[in-house]
Amino acid sequence: MACGVNLWTIPQPKPQSSYSSSSSSLKPPLTSQLSLLFPNFNNSTLSLRFHTTLSRSRLTKSHSPNAPPPHFMVMASTKNPGEALKIMISGAPASGKGTQCELITQKYSLVHVAAGDLLRAEVAAGSDNGRQAKEFMEKGQLVPDEIVVMMVKERLSLPDAEENGWLLDGYPRSLSQATALKKFGFEPDLFILLEVPEDILVERVIGRRLDPVTGKIYHLKYSPPETEEIAARLTQRFDDTEEKVKLRLRTHHQNVEAVLSMFKDITVKIDGNGSKEDVFAQIDGWLTKLLEQRKATSESLAA
Ligand code: AP5
């Protein structure tokens, strides 16, 4: 439910400061206001979205193309103040989703669920699903929903994801996948979109290597292995060729707008063309802000 009344002024997280606000004061909503706005208001069940009410007069525009819209909305769930974070991360092939997921999970202890990794595990196991999936993956196409949707749903339903929260990487990639997940009751707090120019993506794919022992992602130029022992065991994905990444990019472009349309109220666009640390600083800023918001909301509701 979107709240059309400006209840809070939410300062922009610093690393993403494409717009800068002259004031960072937080104004907690009053319980009585909430009751008026939401007739079914109930501390234990209400879930709100708050506008960032940055009035244009108080904003200084920057040159970043990734600035959130002034009315960017973030879900501040009060259903359960201690509820774990649920985050989706999206972006073109090699935009850095997996790399950022490593950093996010290190700090926030979320369960990383990567649709591509689940599929590759099926391929490696030689299961029926894996054999079918590989045909599509080799062509850079989406694996059919019959295989992917239940696979992701089952992983998200495991107790660790429910308890610690989840970070869903590379799913949903189509409107039907987004709709299916919603029907199962999985709704994210934040949808992160990594944006990287296409020529950079191709270079990233070609240089990517994986450590089969630790699962860590490397790049021969941008993130080389730390030791010769690691270098000697690195592997390359079967779909990491220039030809295949172009097919994957085409599939991405065909679907991305439809997926974004489902999550536009909770989407943050991140400039993914910096160092991995800089990209993480932007994401970290938004996650910190989201947690601060939740805390302030639950405190104001408890008062
Ligand atoms: P998937 O495995 O999800 O591949 P992808 O979306 O193409 O994304 P990648 O894993 O290639 O890239 P990434 O964004 O994680 O980048 P990374 O961090 O590794 O899917 C594979 C296939 O499975 C799909 O084509 C499809 O067939 C199928 N599939 C998956 N999900 C599906 C779904 N939901 N429905 C249907 N089918 C599905 O980084 C890439 C490289 O860049 C690395 O070498 C890294 O070191 C380097 N790098 C990262 N960040 C930076 C940085 N900031 N600066 C410099 N280098 C960097």
Lowest mean pLDDT among 78-82, 92-96, 254-258, 279-283: 78-82
Q: How far is the CA of 133 from the centre of ligand 1 (A)?
A: 16
Percent of the chain scoring above 70 in pLDDT: 73
Q: Which atom of ligand 1 is nearest to the CA of 115?
A: 31
pLDDT of residue 80: 57
Residues belonging to the chain: 303
Confidence of residue 81 (pLDDT cuts 50, 70, 90): low
Instruction: Write out pLDDT tens, residues 134-184.
Output: 999 999 999 999 999 999 999 999 999 999 999 999 999 999 999 999 999
In the numeric block, which tokens belong to residue 64?
């970043």
Which residues 6+ apart lie within 8 Å of 248 measured at CB?
A: 92, 93, 140, 239
13 has pLDDT over 50: no
Q: How far is the CA of 239 from the centre of ligand 1 (A)?
A: 10
Ligand 1 proximal residues by C-beta, below 6 Å:
91, 93-99, 115-116, 119, 136-137, 140-143, 148, 170-171, 173, 177, 204, 207-208, 217-219, 222-223, 248, 275-276, 279
74 has pLDDT over 60: no
List, as one string, the DSSP characters of 25-76: ---PPPHHHHHHH-TT--TTT-EEEEE----GGGEEE-S-TTPPPTT-EEEE
Alpha-carbon distances of 194 from 16, 53, 101, 161, 274, rounded to whole Å: 13, 24, 12, 23, 11
Q: At what angle do helices 145-156 and 175-183 cross, to 10 degrees?
A: 40
Residue pair 286/210 in contact (Cβ under 8 Å)? The answer is no
Q: Which atom of ligand 1 is nearest to the CA of 274?
A: 53
Which residue is closest in CA terms to ligand 1's atom 2? 116
Q: How far apart are CA 280 and CA 272, in angstroms?
A: 9
Q: Which atom of ligand 1 is nearest to the CA of 139?
A: 27
Lowest mean pLDDT among 21-25, 146-150, 214-218, 298-302: 21-25
Strands 86-91 and 47-51: unpaired
Q: Would you please indicate which residues are annotated as catalytic (active-site) residues?
A: 97, 173, 208, 237, 248
pLDDT of residue 298: 83
pTM for the structure as a whole: 0.79
Which residue is closest in CA terms to ligand 1's atom 43? 208
H-helix or E-strand spanning residue 279: helix 276-302
Which residue is closest in CA terms to ligand 1's atom 53? 276
Instruction: Write out pLDDT tens, residues 232-247.
Output: 999 999 999 999 999 9
Taking only Cα atoms into account, the Rg of the chain, rounded to an integer number of angstroms, comes to 20
